[in-house]
Amino acid sequence: MLKLEKNIFLVGFMGSGKTSLGRALSEILEIDFFDTDELITRMQKMSIADIFSRYGEKFFRDRESEVLEFLGQKEPGTCIISTGGGAVMREKNWMAFNENGTVIYLDITVEEVYRRLKKTEDRPIIKPILKLENPLEKIEELLKERKPYYARADIIVDATGKSPQKIAAEIISTLETTCDACLPGNPLPENIL
């Protein structure tokens, strides 16, 4: 098994598969998995949609930064952390990522975002976009705004049309070859693809 020297922070647009990939990597590497959105909803005892509706986006982003600051202090190599799609927009969050983390960006196309999210009801930022006459245009605009932040990641992975297991295998292969974020361990299981 690969032993990480740093924790892994997964970043990317809504619907890029951060949570599914985080769970897959966590299982393969046998380390903890944290989803910042799930932690915030548990802390606030309400859904993200309700948090946005009741307190606004700034309140949510402030809670997100607090959670990331806490997770940034986790012992290196002990966890995978899935972040919210907009977490990269705050410099404070990058300080948490860089504390002891390797940042991996899951890059997906605008069309893939739309395909994955077109029936969603629980994401407050995308829900009004999907009701627009041309939602792809607005998704592209948002993605373009965030791309320079996502591009700061240590590793960029094309996640369009790939299963979490396939992406996990690619990431592990990259980590093994770069070895900036890992220590060699036992061989990986043959069946992770």
Each domain of the chain, given as residue ranges in start order, spans: 3-181
- Encode burial over 107-121: b for 16+ CB neighbours within 10 A, e otherwise: bbbbebbbebbeeee
The yes-or-no verdict on residue 191 having pLDDT over 80 is no
Q: What is the band of 128 on the pLDDT scale with cuts at 50, 70, 90?
A: confident
The DSSP bridge pattern shows strands 3-4 and 182-183 to be antiparallel
| pLDDT confidence band for 188 (50 / 70 / 90) | very low
Band (pLDDT 50/70/90 cuts) for residue 122 is low
pLDDT band at 159 (very low <50, low <70, confident <90, very high): very high
Q: Percent of the chain at pLDDT above 70?
A: 89
Burial class (CB in 10 A: 0-12, 13-18, 19+), 99: middle
Distance CA 144, CA 25 (A): 28
The residue with greater pLDDT, 10 or 124, is 10
Average the pLDDT over each of 94-98, 115-119, 152-156, 158-162 and give the range with the smallest value. 115-119
The answer to whether residue 192 scores a pLDDT higher than 80 is no
Architecture of the domain defined by 3-181: 3-Layer(aba) Sandwich (3.40)
